[in-house]
Amino acid sequence: MDRHKFDWQTKFVPVQYLAQNPRIAMTHINFRDLRYLVAVADHQHFGQAAAACFVSQPTLSTQIKKLEDYLGVQLVERTSKRVIVTPVGRMITERARQVLNEVEDLVDVARAAGDPMSGELRLGIIPTLGPYLIPHLFPVLKARYPNLRVLLHEERTNGLIERLRDGSLDAAIMGVPVHDEGLIPLPLFQEPFQVALPSDHPLARNAQIERDELDTLPMLLLEEGHCMRDQALDFCSRVGAQQQQDFRATSLETLRQMVATGAGITLLPTLAVEGATMDTHGLCVRPLAGVPPVRELAIYRRRGCAREPLINALAELIRELPPVKALPTP
């Protein structure tokens, strides 16, 4: 199709022509509108999408309509309760994500050339580690790299993997292993587990817990989706402990409180024990005899990530944190 075969004043250009002529397309589509479209697809609600983009709802709605008029396709279905992205809208939204991620990478490359330890770092972390590592990490990080702004996102492993894949995160601290060839792990540390049990439990009198003493005892675990649940289940199968079938915790703090009520025993990672915000009445923690079970933590990044030098420096900084260096060697 030639330029003279359609009227530029109508602001209608066939999608096929835009696909074949991206330079022309980008003169009429700006990144702001692509961000609006992605936000609408993510939230499926104009009001929530507008809030996420820090604009008014009428402004966002108007720009989406202009984008639809320009592309000549319907991107969303508007209902009274929510927004439904059309099939072609989903395809365009995914292309928009790719464009925006490429732009972010372009900016990161430019910033890294001037000062690799500045700008924004979008960092993810699993919720069973974040509350106990971040309070130690952020003060050191701020002092070491004052021009760096860290945007922290806490989520379970599968969500973090997806955000790494689509470029929403630059790096994520997760348990090992992660089965994705597109992600590169930098090992951080191994964290031993300890046994948490009610203070009036007969085993609480022991300085350490033998594995065979856990045989048939009910073990409280996290709900599905936490990588630590899988690690705890593996330990249970090896020592003969029984999973408590009628309870699934959403967090380590919930596990801590349930153990204190006498509901059962559980495994807690050492940083969670040392970094507890309070001494839970009715709870005691004991190490396991012999070589303790551990979880391995690593910081993951995409292959070819522009922030690789910064992520490498962050990994080294985490390894040198006092509570990490104080962890017992398995």
Domains of the chain are: 3-109 (1.10.10.10), 117-188+295-325 (3.40.190.10), 190-293 (3.40.190.10)
Q: For the residues 38-55, what does the mean pLDDT come to? A: 90
Task: Provide CB contacts within 8 A for 141, sequence distance 6+.
Answer: 148, 150, 314, 317
CB 80 within 8 A of CB 72: no
Q: Provide the pLDDT for residue 37.
A: 93
Q: Say which residue, 242 or 214, is predicted with more confidence.
A: 214
Tokens representing residue 242 in the block: 């029984």
Q: For the residues 187-193, what does the mean pLDDT come to? A: 94
Cα atoms found within 13 Å of the Cα of residue 294, Cβ hemisphere only: 16
262: left (phi over 0), alpha (psi -120 to 50) or beta: left
Q: Note the pTM of the prediction, 2 decimals.
A: 0.68
Tokens representing residue 230 in the block: 């899988």
Q: For the residues 48-72, what does the mean pLDDT come to? A: 90
Residue 175's pLDDT band (cuts 50, 70, 90):
very high
CA distance 25 to 34: 12
Write the CA distances from 105 to 170, 255, 299, 304, integer angstroms. 10, 40, 19, 10
Write the CA distances from 253 to 250, 256, 284, 286, 296, integer angstroms. 8, 5, 14, 17, 21
CA distance 172 to 161: 8
